[in-house]
Structure 1
Amino acid sequence: MLDQFQLAVYRFTLRPREEMILPVYKGAVLRGGFGYVFKRTVCFQPQTTSCRGCILRYDCPYPALFEPSPPPDAEVLRKNQNIPLAFVIEPPLDRRTRYGPEETLGFRLVLIGQAIARLAYFVVAFQQLGEAGIGPRRAKYTLERVEALQPWSGEAVSLYEDGALVRGAGELIVDYGMVAERTAALEADGIDAITVNFLTPTRLKHLGHYVTRPDFHILVRALLRRISSLSYFYCGERWEADYWGIIEAAKGVRLAQAWTGWVDWERYSRRQRQRMKLGGLVGQAIYEGELGPFLPLLALGELVHVGKACVFGHGKYEIAP
């Protein structure tokens, strides 16, 4: 079960060289700036708006990270032109909008499976983005530090300092076995209630509509879709799970209480040349029932996020017994 699933968590620290003004929710600025610089760096046809039809699309790192599509021999989702991206940018959760040269801005980057080997592209792109500038005033910054993180203990290993990579990307890799081990104690105690705190806009879709009430089976469906796709396309493993059996069991878990609401959020997509509405639910939900079998799935979802637009940091949640 997900024996080959791997991910890595990194912390990037930026130091402004001048006053930096950013929106409250910084995920789109970081992701958009990275994508623009990254494409400008590696693309042989930067004037195009889509990688579809390019003869290099299966060899170039840009579509692999930003416009992935199922390979011709894919056994699943062959008709789906869009599959989940293999990275998540986690912006800081505070509401600060101004940073000065005496301060730092930190964010986390989650890379999944094959994307771990592409860490250097992220480092170089965020270096160059610092020279181009970020935010409405194009404030310049210096990429001060990149660290690999152990997501639960907080252990950190420095990978980039003083303008150079000092270690490779393969530090503090997290696999599914480690996730399951983390939740084994809770499962052994027969936990029958859990709290999920939805920290960033979470876009859970059910029967064609985005929901504001996060029933447990809807959350589980979204986790199954996301994690199974990430496993197949980036970790080389098709997750042979009893999906319908898992969903039926999830229907037996009750949403006991919910304090959730919808937060509107939109961004301008330079690539699609239009504004996109990407709101989602935030708040807290308490679930009651036979939760033990779902704990590893929920714990993995804490790291890879859930729902749509995860690349911007959407769908971040934390669980607590």
Structure 2
Amino acid sequence: MALTFTKIVITLRLQRDIRGRYAFFNLKNVFESVFRQNINCCQTSCYGCRSGEECCYPGIFSQSLSADPLALKRYQKPSLPFVFHIPLVPDLPNKGMTVEMAVVLIGSAAEYYQHFIHCVSSVYSGFAALVKAESEDYMGNRYLIMGELGEMHHDRLFLFSAEELQNNCQHISGMIEVTFVTPVILFRQGHAMREMSFSTFIRALFRRVSSLAYYYGGVEMNYDFKWLAEQSYHVETIESELAWTEWKVATPGARLSGIMGRTAFSGDMDIFYPFLLLGQYFNIGKGASFGRGRYLMHGICR
């Protein structure tokens, strides 16, 4: 699998006491407009724009569908080629504390990591200041790529490959423990699901990872997804502490809802291993690009 991506960890220091535990989750409401400002784009639409291939905006936000009718049937609509891992605000008093926000940039989006760092800094400038930005590798080692004064170290950017990720991470046995650390929403027949089996979980990963690989990695994944889906029904849930959760965010009337908690699955995990690993970086479900649907597998590198 030739899919590549990078993970940038951005450290922010709170400039004042913040009461809203979910203040950083307002990112989705403003990020696109801030990104336009950061690249000096004065347009509200790409229609008729003369910048063409010189502009990075369409490649990141357009979510253009394939012209191949077979691909349209095979892959879900492309998601955005970035994924934020958004932190919770520490308990009060928290002025002066630091938090870490990560962004995973997939395929060619990794070329524009500076824009993402600057945008995060701009979005939260009212209450948090950028301390540093670091590139993380397979084992969690970090390399400074932007300091507090804005100095850049471009040669330290670490690029993941999906294949090497598997080779560098601890292999899983017949049982895995998964913790959903932000609300995940998956739909069935137009309704948000209130419970999750392994089959539901892994099939959502199949759709998401294969679509990202195709649209942003130029890779057609050579897997028999029908057979994998059938095998997923043999994996059992041996323990579950999942529950429907609602977070009330700062935006009036807004809520972050979904399934959260810990669960454990038992069965033949080897065949699902590539997807389970990538999902820790890519999240799953509605709003995955902006922090929802993040999970961790215990004892596995991330």
Query: Same-fold call, TM > 0.5?
Result: yes
Structure 2 residue 170 is the aligned partner of structure 1 residue 173: no
Distance in 2, Cα, partners of 1:169 & 1:223: 32
The equivalences for 1:239-254 within 5 A come to 239-254=221-236
Separation in 1, partners of 2:19, 2:46: 32
After the TM superposition, which of the residue ranges 228-237 and 21-30 deviates more from structure 2? 21-30
Q: Does 1:42 align with 2:39?
A: yes
- Residues 175-208 of structure 1: CA distance to partner in whole angstroms, max 9, x if unpaired? 112232245643xxxx322211111101122343
Distance 1:82 1:45 in 2: 27
Residue 166 of structure 1: how far off its partner (Å) = 2.5
- Paired AA for residue 161 in structure 2: D
Distance 1:212 1:237, change over 3 A: same
Aligned match of 1:118: 112
Go from structure 1 to structure 2 and tell me whether the alpha carbon gap of 1:15 and 1:74 turns closer, same or farther (over 3 Å shift). Answer: farther
Aligned residue identity for 1:85: L
Conservation of the 8 A alpha-carbon contact between 2:89 and 2:99: no
Q: How far apart, in 1, do the equivalents of 2:244 and 2:82 lie?
A: 25
Aligned residues with identical type, % of pairs: 24
Given that 1:197 and 1:319 are in contact with CA atoms closer than 8 Å, whether structure 2 keeps it comes out as yes
* Other-structure match for 1:28: 25
* Match of residue 220, structure 2, among 219, 224, 238: 238
- Matched with 1:304 is 282
Alpha-carbon distance in 1 for matches of 2:69, 2:56: 19
**Equivalent residue for 1:142?**
129
The alignment yields a C-alpha RMSD, in angstroms, of 3.1
> Which one is further off, 142-151 or 161-170?
161-170
1:119 and 1:169 in contact (8 A); partners too: no
Aligned partners of 2:147, 2:170: CA distance in 1, in Å? 37
Contact 1:302 1:319 (C-alpha < 8 Å) held by counterparts: yes
Question: Which amino acid is 2:149 matched to?
Answer: G
Is it true that 1:164 corresponds to 2:159 in the alignment? no
Q: Which amino acid aligns with 1:90?
A: H
Q: What is the CA-CA distance between 1:275 and the residue it aligns to?
A: 6.4
Greater RCO between the two (CA within 8 Å, min separation 6)? 2
How does the TM-score come out when normalised to structure 1?
0.80
- CA offsets 1:133-156 (integer angstroms, 9 cap, x no match): 3xxxx33x43221100125x3211
Q: 2:269 aligns with which of 261, 267, 291?
A: 291
Counterparts of 2:221 and 2:188, CA distance in 1:
22
Q: Find the residue that maps to 1:7 and give its secondary structure.
A: strand
1:13 matched to 2:15? The reply is no
- Does residue 84 of the first structure (1) align with residue 74 of the second (2)? no
Paired with 1:97 and 1:56, the residues of 2 have a C-alpha distance of 49
The alignment covers a number of residue pairs equal to 298
Q: 1:65 aligns with which of 60, 64, 75?
A: 60
TM-score, structure 2 length as denominator? 0.85
